[in-house]
């Protein structure tokens, strides 16, 4: 979306004119190969486009190789500290790896990783997070944590560039929304590489969703970000669902339907909360991406407020009205609501 350069991972382009990609990270340890494969399959079904998988032990290299062969979407190996793990991941067929060159003590080993990645045409994602900022980096930026995050990325980029490596994705993430936004703003002005964005350790449930959405949305609205991950304490498929909701809300990318409904008030003619769930249960799995469905409580918030809906329903004094693009197509009593609704949904 915002970068000038792009990279390719097993046919998946990231950056440049490519769509903003939605990724996640499997929560299952690689030692449980079957559950890892099942989680990858579930993520693929939900629309995930890149899966990050931790490789913490060389003994799991064969499992990574098997998982790579079974996954229908690209895998990025998540590597820390040991350059041998990065080499093993590349040899296991990973077309991309995520490393932090700054926490690899063996500089020669790191250079070996970079050379192997270059020979294989693999992508390296580098980056810093709030927990990896060093004392020296903070001192260099006089305590400015956002600048320290960006500076940490600078140091990593220099290591790759010293090895003539340009197949790069960069990232700077923190659990602080404002810190993350500012760090990525600094990086986006400096580098042409694709940027991975997200708020790390955002949390669980509604609080985590809001925190992740707040940071990611601001960055995307500023033209920053080429691939996103919503980091949630919970199932990985939820990260993907929320990611697409963020992109849809910003009208950047659509997946699935868009259901809008009024917050309700004393004017409501129907039970909006109950009807929303009924409508969702009736919608087919293969509904066209971007289809907008509206459930409105009364004629005030009905066809005019939701005039753009492909199909809408609003309560009336005598029952309900169904409408398409603001034009009424059916008026009936509440007893016939489900029947009429099914008829109109079929026409979608």
pLDDT digits (tens, 9 = 90+) for 105-122: 788 999 999 999 999 999
Burial track 284-300 (b if 16+ CB lie within 10 A, e otherwise): eeeeeeebbbbbbbbbe
Q: Report the DSSP beta bridge partners of residue 8.
A: 13
Domain 6-249 has CATH 3.40.50.280: no
**Cα–Cα distance between 163 and 145 in angstroms, integer?**
28
| pLDDT higher than 80, residue 44 | yes
- Per-residue pLDDT tens over the stretch 77-101: 999 889 999 999 999 999 999 998 8
**Interval 57-74 mean pLDDT:** 97
Half-sphere exposure of 10 toward its Cβ, with a 13 Å CA cutoff? 17
| pLDDT higher than 90, residue 187 | yes
Architecture of the domain spanning 258-346: 2-Layer Sandwich (3.30)
**Nearest 10 degrees: CA dihedral of 161, 1, 52, 35?**
-160
- The pTM (predicted TM-score) of the whole model is 0.92
CATH 3.20.20.20 in the chain, residues?
6-249
**Average pLDDT of the chain, as a whole number:** 94
**Cα–Cα distance between 121 and 131 in angstroms, integer?**
30
CATH 3.30.413.10 in the chain, residues?
258-346
**Interval 147-171 mean pLDDT:** 96
Structure tokens at 167: 């197949």
At residue 81, the pLDDT reads 87
At residue 71, the pLDDT reads 96
| pLDDT higher than 80, residue 1 | no
- Per-residue pLDDT tens over the stretch 231-274: 999 999 999 999 999 999 999 999 989 999 999 898 888 899 99
pLDDT confidence tier of residue 303, bands split at 50, 70 and 90: confident
Percent of the chain, pLDDT > 70? Answer: 100
- Per-residue pLDDT tens over the stretch 267-287: 888 899 998 999 999 898 888
Could you give the maximum distance between any two Cα atoms of the chain, in Å?
A: 78
Q: SS3 for 332?
A: strand
């Amino acid at each position: 979306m915002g970068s000038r350069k792009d990279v390719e991972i097993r046919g998946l382009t990231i950056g440049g004119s490519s769509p903003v990609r939605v990724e996640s990270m499997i929560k299952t340890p690689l030692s449980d190969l079957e559950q890892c494969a099942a989680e990858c399959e579930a993520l693929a079904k939900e629309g995930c486009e890149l899966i990050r998988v931790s490789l913490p032990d060389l003994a799991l290299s064969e499992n990574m190789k098997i998982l790579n062969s079974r996954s229908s979407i690209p895998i990025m190996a998540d590597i820390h500290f040991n350059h041998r793990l990065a080499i093993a991941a590349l040899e296991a067929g990973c077309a991309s790896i995520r490393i932090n060159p700054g926490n690899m003590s063996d500089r020669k080993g790191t250079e070996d990783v970079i050379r192997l990645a270059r020979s294989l045409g693999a992508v390296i994602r580098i980056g810093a997070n709030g927990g990896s900022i060093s004392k020296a980096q903070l001192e260099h930026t006089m305590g400015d944590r956002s600048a320290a995050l960006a500076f940490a990325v600078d140091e990593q980029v220099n290591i790759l560039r010293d090895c003539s490596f340009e197949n790069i994705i960069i990232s700077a993430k923190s659990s602080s929304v404002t810190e993350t936004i500012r760090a990525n703003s600094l990086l986006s002005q400096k580098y042409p590489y694709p940027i991975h964005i997200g708020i790390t350790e955002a949390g669980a449930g509604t609080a985590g969703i809001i925190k992740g959405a707040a940071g990611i949305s601001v960055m995307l609205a500023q033209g920053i970000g080429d691939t996103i991950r919503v980091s949630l304490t919970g199932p990985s498929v939820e990260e993907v669902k929320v990611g697409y909701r963020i992109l849809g809300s910003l009208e950047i990318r659509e997946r699935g339907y868009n259901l809008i409904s009024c917050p309700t008030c004393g004017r409501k003619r129907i039970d909006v909360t109950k009807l929303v769930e009924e409508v969702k249960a009736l919608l087919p799995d293969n509904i066209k991406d971007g289809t907008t469905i509206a459930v409105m409580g009364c004629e005030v918030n009905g066809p005019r407020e939701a005039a753009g809906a492909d199909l809408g329903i609003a309560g009336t004094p005598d029952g309900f009205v169904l409408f398409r693009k603001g034009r009424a197509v059916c008026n009936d009593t509440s007893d016939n609501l489900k029947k009429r609704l099914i008829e109109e949904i079929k026409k979608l």
